[in-house]
């Protein structure tokens, strides 16, 4: 059974036969060994980049010249400057970010080609970006933390805006003389404060404790709740 692969917004002109690198969690553990003592001491763990090997076929070429033209077309689509979005049709509600790394295995057999594309990918896979009205409970369906972006529209004049996260005790405060119609973006992905389209880091309270949305339910509190409309955006991640 074969399926399709999209890379950097383009459906590749190949049939996918198998994919290795979508299995359970891979992590690296650092431990310290003390001379003369049994065992070791745990220090830390990290999630490394992972290999993603894609076995594929280029079918239905009428000649070797046509096969090589299709191979050139594939190479053009794979040639990117940075890790890009990867979607497999058998898992269309998730995507990976990766880039080709190394030389593909490749064989030409009469009128078709067969090989393996060696990608390196980020340790996470991602879901569609979530956009919803901020309320007391925000549900993160991923299995990993997600960095939120809060978009605030002011209906009344206030001199600050604070959003707090109950699970971590983190909070972000923006000090500004807001008036009705002002727009504030608190981007905790890029650590930016944007007011009416302008980056205004001078409005950021540097005593803040920025937070991420944990997997599952997240309870947030907003001050001046009646004076603002708030939306939150984030990209759920799975390990």
Each residue's pLDDT tens digit, 180-227 = 999 999 999 899 999 999 999 999 999 999 999 999 999 999 998 889
Each residue's pLDDT tens digit, 140-150 = 999 999 999 99
- All domains of the chain in start order, with CATH: 5-126 (2.40.30.200), 130-238 (2.60.120.860)
Which pLDDT band holds residue 1 (cuts at 50, 70, 90)? low
Query: What is the mean pLDDT of the segment spanning 165-188?
Result: 96
pTM for this model (two decimals): 0.84
Q: Do the Cβ atoms of 195 and 176 come closer than 8 Å?
A: yes
Each residue's pLDDT tens digit, 22-77 = 999 999 999 999 998 999 999 999 999 999 999 999 988 888 888 989 999 999 99
């Amino acid at each position: 059974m074969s399926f399709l692969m999209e890379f950097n917004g383009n459906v590749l002109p190949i049939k996918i036969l198998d994919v290795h690198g979508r299995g359970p969690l891979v992590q690296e553990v650092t431990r310290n060994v003390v001379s003369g003592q049994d065992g070791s001491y745990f220090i830390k763990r990290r999630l490394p980049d992972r290999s993603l090997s894609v076995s594929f076929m280029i079918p239905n070429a009428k000649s070797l010249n046509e096969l090589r033209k299709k191979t050139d077309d594939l190479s053009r689509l794979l040639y990117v400057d940075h890790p890009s979005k990867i979607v497999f049709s058998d898992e269309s509600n998730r995507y990976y970010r990766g880039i080709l790394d190394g030389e593909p295995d490749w064989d030409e057999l009469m009128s078709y080609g067969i090989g393996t594309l060696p990608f390196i990918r980020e340790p996470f896979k991602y879901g569609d970006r979530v956009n919803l009205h901020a309320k007391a409970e925000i549900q993160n369906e991923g299995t990993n933390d997600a960095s939120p972006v809060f978009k605030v529209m002011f209906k009344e004049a206030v001199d600050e805006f604070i959003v707090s996260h109950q699970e971590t005790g983190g909070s972000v405060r923006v000090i500004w003389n807001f008036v009705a119609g002002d727009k504030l973006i608190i981007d905790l992905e890029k650590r930016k404060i944007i007011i009416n389209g302008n980056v205004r880091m001078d409005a950021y309270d540097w005593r803040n404790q920025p937070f991420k949305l944990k997997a599952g339910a997240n309870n947030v509190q907003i001050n001046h709740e009646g004076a603002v409309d708030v939306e939150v955006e984030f990209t759920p991640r799975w390990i």
